[in-house]
Amino acid sequence: MSKYKEIAEKVLGNVGGASNVDQAWHCITRLRFNLHDKGKVDMESIKRIDGVLGAQFSGDQFQVIVGNKVSDVFAELEPMVEGGGSGSGGEKKGEKQGIVSATMDFISGVFTPILPALAGAGLLKGFLALFVTLGWMNNAGDTYAILNAIGDSVFYFLPFFLAVSAARKVKTNEYLALIIAGTLMYPTFIDAANGITDVTSFSIFGLSFISIPVLNYSSSVVPIILAVLLLKYVYNAVKKVIPSVVSLMFSPMITFLIVLPITLWLIGPLGTNLGEGLSTIFVYLFDVAGPVAGLLLGGFMPLIIMTGMHYAFVPIAIQNINNNGTDTFLQPMMFISNLAQAGASFGVAVRSKNKAMKQLAVSSGISAMIGITEPAMYGVNMKLKKPFIYAMISSGILGAFAGWYGFKAFALGGLVGVFSIPVFADPSGATAPLVIALILFVLSLVIPFILTMVFGFKDIPEEGQKEEAPAATDEKKESAGVTGTQTQTVVQSPLKGELVPLKDLSDPTFAQEIMGKGIAIEPSENHIVAPVSGTVMVLPDSQHAIGIKGDNGEEILIHIGIDTVSLKGQHFNALVKAEDRIEVGQKLIEFDREAIKAANIQTVTMIIVTNTPDYLDVLSINDSGPVFEGEQLLTLVR
């Protein structure tokens, strides 16, 4: 079995199987799912799959972050979900999807399948502009005309591509959707819009109140998407009333006679105005408050990318290029942000003493420099925290400069990184935009690299490594009596949530560290996993706590909630038993946070080193803020 097929099978099994998949597709780095019942997802098992960088819900869309090989994994996954994942089965369970979440999910589902076409064609147009700028090609010659036609074709005929993609997303007939696109792009309307004919408007069915305006729908985005949505509901309604014996012919014809006049009369103009309105707003923001807009969008772009919301900006960027010939916000800010993640990752590669981390940081940095940032963000920078912050600070500062200067892209280029530099070349041959792009390229890499090197980060020690105690403070080192020959044991976080210092707890037994040193976590999920590998020493019948003896002699108590012993096991489900061998990351106990809170009992969970006297010190990595399952939590110094 190939590695990619193994990943696909494990992912599919942990999202509830093919029958739970409504839709599946992929973008550049992520597998994306719409699921019937998101409660069937085993998030933590998916995160532990070799080859998976992370997993998350973005609205009701479930995303599995795979990285550069996502297309290979999806090629194995796609035949597994056909039939069971066709989306023909029932409604999704769980909460109704909010309008913002539904909109983001829809836009992502429509645009991600056509990104390869947009990226390839856009990059070709970018190289053409670069060649003109460098004097290697004449923009009035035949070669330029032919290559420009190849690069421009997908944008000119964009309604056709969106018709197919949108029809697949909403599960209606793709060929009927293509009829709508073909009508919008028919020469009768295009010639009138371009002034080739003298027609200024059209009427239909002799109805004087219906006046169809003359508009050019080439390169348009919103009109065809809204028209396909209307097609879905009209076609389904028509099929219900037309006898099946003649439905094949009459249902499409009647659908066309309803949908296309409404589209040409109302939806087309409405969609055109909506798209142009959104484009105008973003252009205005960068014209009037360019530095502020660049600071915010550049600085927070990594967080936007993490949620997948950057795809929501794609139609606006396309509309900007269609209206003004340039993209003033999406690609310029992603260019800076992606390279900043690469620069921070390269800084980690130089400064880290962990050989595995060095190798990961180099490969992830190269990937981010190309335009695929998830490996660098999830595998390196976010894991070490500070490099991620340095990258955001750098991209915010450079984004402010780019917004002030008016840095812009002249084509849509797909992966935004080193190979997208040509899209920032002006097709007119002006050299300044290309020079600014090269300067920002260098600064975006260098600034976070320097910040990472100068200010550092909390390195992850290699397993069994002997080194100095954690670089918390000199006072802590002295109080712990740490020397360069002392060893450390790392305790991982058994759950996801918010850190709470023991001294802030209401239970004096834990607050006064009577049972030992440690940290508490207010959980945001309903299970705990093993923080170390070892053996289950204690598991009471109430199942609210578990005692573990680690392979290095550490004794860890995980106590879920305060006074939860009074529940007598209610709302708890232990997945292991006393004397069981357990491995780090293995799920130990499931519990119902909401039910425990409803019983007026605190759910804050304590992680205590009960044999604290055996160690020089027990140090927590952080005292507050969020913590993720599997993240380094405590360091035990001997």
With 0-12 CB in 10 A as exposed, 13-18 as middle and 19+ as buried, what is 206?
exposed
Whether residues 346 and 421 fall in one domain: yes
Whether residues 264 and 297 fall in one domain: no
Domain closes at, from 455, 486, 515: 455
Number of H helices, E strands in the chain: 23, 20
Residue 508 forms part of a structural domain: yes
- State the CATH number of the domain containing residue 560: 2.70.70.10
- Paired tokens of 62: 């479930």
Distance CA 436, CA 43 (A): 43
Whether residues 282 and 308 fall in one domain: no
Whether residues 217 and 299 fall in one domain: no
- Predicted pLDDT at 306: 67
Whether residues 509 and 560 fall in one domain: yes
User: What are the residue ranges of helices labelled H in 242-381?
Assistant: 244-262, 268-288, 290-307, 314-324, 330-351, 355-370, 374-376
Distance CA 365, CA 306 (A): 17
Q: Which residue segment(s) compose the domain that 435 sits in?
A: 290-455
Whether residues 384 and 416 fall in one domain: yes
Residue 623 forms part of a structural domain: yes
Whether residues 622 and 484 fall in one domain: yes
Nearest to 538 by CA among 596, 610, 603: 610
Whether residues 325 and 434 fall in one domain: yes
Residue 12 forms part of a structural domain: yes
- Paired tokens of 95: 């909460």
Question: CA 10, 12, 16, 18 torsion: positive or negative?
Answer: negative
Residue of 12, 15, 27, 609 marked active site: 27
Residue 178 forms part of a structural domain: yes
Is the CB of residue 630 less than 8 Å from the CB of residue 495? no
- Predicted pLDDT at 100: 61
Is the CB of residue 112 less than 8 Å from the CB of residue 32? yes
Instruction: Specify the pTM.
Output: 0.54
Residue 603 forms part of a structural domain: yes
Placement of tokens 């106590």 in the chain: 559
- Predicted pLDDT at 83: 46
Whether residues 311 and 451 fall in one domain: yes
Distance CA 575, CA 106 (A): 38
Residue 481 forms part of a structural domain: yes
Distance CA 620, CA 605 (A): 15
Q: Provide the 10 A C-beta neighbour count for residue 52.
A: 21
Domain closes at, from 251, 266, 286: 286
Whether residues 484 and 608 fall in one domain: yes
Is the CB of residue 33 less than 8 Å from the CB of residue 84? no
- Predicted pLDDT at 84: 39
Share of the chain above pLDDT 70, in %: 90
Domain tally, the chain: 4
550 Rama sector, left if φ>0, alpha if ψ -120 to 50, beta otherwise:
beta
Placement of tokens 């955001």 in the chain: 392
Residue numbers in the chain where pLDDT is lower than 50:
83-95, 464-486
Distance CA 114, CA 118 (A): 6
Three-state SS at 460: coil
Residue 182 forms part of a structural domain: yes
Q: Provide the 10 A C-beta neighbour count for residue 618.
A: 23
Three-state SS at 265: helix
Residue 263 forms part of a structural domain: yes
Domain closes at, from 398, 428, 455: 455
Whether residues 242 and 351 fall in one domain: no
Is 27 in the active site? yes
Rounded to 5°, angle at Cα 529 from 528 and 533: 150
Nearest to 519 by CA among 597, 629, 619, 593: 619
Q: Using N-to-C axis directions, what is the helix angle for 330-351 and 355-370, rounded to 10°?
A: 160
Whether residues 404 and 378 fall in one domain: yes
- State the CATH number of the domain containing residue 50: 3.30.1360.60
